[in-house]
């Protein structure tokens, strides 16, 4: 197979990152997003018997083979973030005279407050333990405790990030939070319970209200206005730019240091007038000849930054006058159209969007969505909504898979998930294959040609994935060779998944894609059904399908 020269770029920027694990030692660190990054934490949901017999919160967080860190997590750590999930240490939480025991409770940021779900323990809580149908107690906290079923069921508390104090989230508090959301408020007024299930449902809807940060893009625009006048950024100015929330989050991953270095070098090549010959030389090199990932990323950064410099004033005006939040709300609705009906009550992991500049595309990474300013500016309104829907589709899907499956590192699971994720999402904003010039966007004709070559090569690639996987299951292919299956889908899985999704759409309809866009086994079986109906497409073998089913069964939590 011809080597895909864009693969390096997409492998760096598109593939899902491993889960981020960040420990916060106190409330201030949590609020500022300044914690210690680790890689050895494990989250375990405690059983009902454990909670009943020993008290405490729902989740145990421990460090593998590190007793010292385990002790720190149990008694001193304030909160832990695992990718998009936040947990607070109940030993640090208080509500009036109530304590919550040990271990960790699930939490979420909503607007500028933290909400956690927990149940008090100890003598103070026991003193309020009355049957659910008993007469309600009065007093300072009695009404809230009894109305919510505080002792018998978990409820939500609001943690003030300035004071560290917790307040019970009951009906009055929830109505206050929903004041600016008439539809949600009307629905909540019909509720008859203040349980965690009910309150959590509305908090998650508030959490999923999209917010958009243009801070990083604006900071780069101001920096570039100076660069146009001959003042290139100083080291201090670079540090200030990369400390803006968007760039800080974007580069906060294993390849971040390398990407930051490449971006900075590309910027200086574009805006240093003495380096014009260097810029022209780099852009004159045929992309097909590039073998080094860093060279490929640098090429697209230089190309994109050059465009950025040419359109600087228009982009500045665009950011000042655009109302992007409405597009995010509509994009969320589009994403839900291409997901199973059961997702109507779920919420995406990502509700924070960052506009910045890097290469002309969008990324779902580590709990956030990042969109390149040139890419956003080049879209018409409908295309932008569909692009946002594409990224949110990833968010819904990955959130579900993280809840249901463990990350086993199974090569075939990695390959299938990449193709399913990108293929089904591509249907949302590219509609059907092969790719068009509009789909290639600012990457241009060379990228379009390469993507479509990989698109049409999909049947051969699927056959190879099938053969290596079945061979490994029978012991005729060794582990190292089988491990390459995870790397076979090219361009981050886009063209191969798009081929499969387009076939499903043509043979079985759009609803078949929506219904089977999340579960990998269902996607494989639906693809096979479409391939058999088409009559001249590659069909996965029965042995392959059986092995995939076995793998996902083993991966279930």
Chain segment 84-95, per-residue pLDDT in tens: 688 999 989 888
Give, for 199, the enclosing helix (H) or strand (E): helix 196-207
Q: What is the mean pLDDT of residues 442-466?
A: 91
- Which residue carries 């591509």 as its tokens? 426
Distance CA 41, CA 254 (A): 17
Q: Strand locations in 160-217, DSSP E?
A: 166-168, 211-213
> pLDDT tens digits for 343-361?
876 766 656 789 999 999 9
Distance CA 195, CA 152 (A): 10
Q: What is the mean pLDDT of residues 445-462?
A: 91
| Residue 262 pLDDT > 90 | yes
Output helix, strand, coil percentages for the chain, rounded to the nearest 5: 60, 15, 30
Distance CA 338, CA 424 (A): 8
- Describe the crossing of helices 411-430 and 458-474 by its angle, rounded to 10 degrees: 160
Distance CA 537, CA 528 (A): 9
Distance CA 101, CA 439 (A): 53
Structure tokens, 191: 């509720």
Query: So what's the pLDDT on residue 503?
Result: 97
Query: So what's the pLDDT on residue 124?
Result: 39
Instruction: Put residue 151 in one of left, alpha, beta given phi > 0 → left and psi -120 to 50 → alpha.
Output: alpha
Distance CA 441, CA 400 (A): 30
SS3 402: helix
| Strand 352-356 to 211-213 pairing | parallel
Q: Compute how many other C-beta atoms are within 10 angstroms of the C-beta atom of residue 460.
A: 11
Q: Compute how many other C-beta atoms are within 10 angstroms of the C-beta atom of residue 191.
A: 14
Torsions phi, psi of 364, nearest 5? Answer: -105, 110
Distance CA 555, CA 53 (A): 29
Distance CA 146, CA 557 (A): 35
Asked which of 142-151, 241-250, 271-280, 289-298 is least confident by mean pLDDT, the reply is 142-151
Give, for 362, the enclosing helix (H) or strand (E): strand 362-365
Distance CA 493, CA 418 (A): 5
Distance CA 162, CA 31 (A): 9
Distance CA 355, CA 172 (A): 36
Reduced 3-state DSSP string for 489-535: CCHHHHHHHHHHHHHHHHHHCHHHHHHCCCCHHHHHHHHHHHHHHHC
Query: So what's the pLDDT on residue 293?
Result: 81
Tell me the CA end-to-end span of the chain in Å, nearest whole number: 37
> pLDDT tens digits for 150-207?
444 678 999 988 888 888 999 999 999 898 888 888 989 999 888 888 898 888 877 7
Q: How confident is the model at residue 137 (pLDDT cuts 50, 70, 90)?
A: very low
Q: How far is CA 459 from CA 23, 24, 176, in A?
A: 45, 48, 56
The answer to whether the peptide bond before residue 434 is cis (omega within 30 degrees of 0) is yes
Query: So what's the pLDDT on residue 345?
Result: 67
Question: Which residues have C-beta within 8 Å of that of residue 322, sequence separation ≥ 6?
Answer: none
Mean pLDDT of the chain, nearest integer: 85
Q: Are 425 and 358 in contact (CB under 8 A)?
A: no
Helices (H), 405-444: 411-430, 437-440
| Structure-model confidence comparison of residues 479 and 450, the more confident one | 479
| Strand 79-82 to 98-99 pairing | unpaired
- HSE, CB side, 13 Å, CA atoms: give it for residue 407: 9
> How much of the chain exceeds pLDDT 70, in percent?
87
Structure tokens, 103: 């271990």
């Amino acid at each position: 197979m011809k080597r895909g020269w864009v693969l390096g770029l997409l492998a760096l920027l598109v593939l899902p990152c491993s889960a981020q694990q960040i420990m916060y030692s106190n409330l201030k660190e949590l609020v500022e997003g300044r914690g210690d990054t680790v890689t050895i934490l494990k989250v375990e949901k405690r059983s009902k018997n454990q909670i009943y017999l020993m008290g405490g919160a729902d989740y145990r967080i421990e460090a593998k083979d590190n007793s010292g860190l385990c002790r720190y997590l149990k008694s001193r750590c304030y909160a832990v973030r695992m990718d998009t999930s936040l947990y607070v240490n109940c030993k640090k939480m208080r509500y009036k005279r109530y304590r919550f025991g040990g271990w960790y409770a699930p939490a979420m940021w909503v607007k500028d407050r933290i909400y956690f779900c927990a149940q008090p323990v100890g003598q103070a809580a026991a003193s309020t333990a009355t049957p659910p149908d008993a007469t309600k107690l009065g007093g300072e906290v009695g009404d809230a405790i009894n109305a919510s079923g505080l002792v018998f069921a978990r409820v939500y508390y609001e943690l003030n990030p300035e004071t560290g104090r917790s307040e019970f989230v009951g009906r009055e508090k929830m109505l206050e939070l929903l004041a600016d959301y008439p539809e949600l408020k009307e629905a909540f007024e019909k509720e008859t319970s203040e349980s965690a299930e009910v309150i959590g449902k509305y908090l998650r809807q508030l959490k999923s209200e999209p917010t958009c940060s243009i801070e990083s893009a604006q900071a780069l625009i101001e920096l570039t206005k100076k660069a146009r006048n001959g003042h290139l950024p100083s080291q201090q100015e670079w540090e200030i730019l990369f400390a803006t929330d968007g760039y800080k989050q974007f580069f906060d991953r294993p390849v971040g240091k390398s990407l930051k270095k490449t971006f900075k070098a590309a910027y200086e090549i574009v805006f240093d007038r003495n380096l014009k010959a260097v810029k022209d030389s780099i852009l004159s090199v045929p992309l097909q000849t590039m073998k080094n990932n860093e060279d490929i990323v640098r090429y697209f950064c230089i190309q994109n930054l050059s465009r950025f410099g040419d359109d600087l004033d228009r982009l500045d005006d665009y950011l000042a006058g655009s109302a992007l939040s409405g597009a995010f709300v509509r994009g969320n609705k589009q994403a839900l159209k291409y997901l199973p009906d059961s997702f109507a009550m779920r919420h995406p992991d990502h509700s924070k969007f960052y506009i910045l500049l890097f290469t002309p595309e969008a990324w779902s990474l580590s709990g956030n969505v990042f969109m390149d300013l040139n890419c956003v500016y080049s879209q018409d309104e409908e295309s932008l909504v569909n692009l946002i829907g594409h990224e949110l589709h990833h968010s819904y899907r990955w959130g579900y898979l993280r809840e249901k499956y463990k990350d086993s590192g199974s090569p075939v699971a990695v390959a299938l998930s990449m193709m399913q994720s990108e293929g089904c999402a591509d249907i949302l904003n590219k509609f059907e294959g092969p790719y068009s010039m509009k789909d290639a966007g600012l990457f241009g004709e060379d990228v379009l040609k390469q993507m479509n070559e990989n698109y049409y090569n999909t049947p051969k690639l699927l056959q190879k994935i099938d053969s290596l996987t079945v061979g490994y299951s029978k012991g005729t292919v060794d582990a190292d060779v089988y491990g390459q299956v995870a790397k076979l889908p090219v361009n981050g899985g886009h063209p191969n998944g798009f081929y499969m999704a387009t076939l499903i759409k043509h043979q079985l309809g759009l609803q078949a894609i929506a219904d089977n866009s999340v579960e990998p086994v269902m996607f494989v079986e639906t693809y096979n059904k479409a391939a058999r109906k088409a009559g001249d497409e590659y069909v996965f073998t029965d042995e392959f399908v059986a092995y995939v089913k076995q793998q996902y069964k083993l991966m279930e939590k």
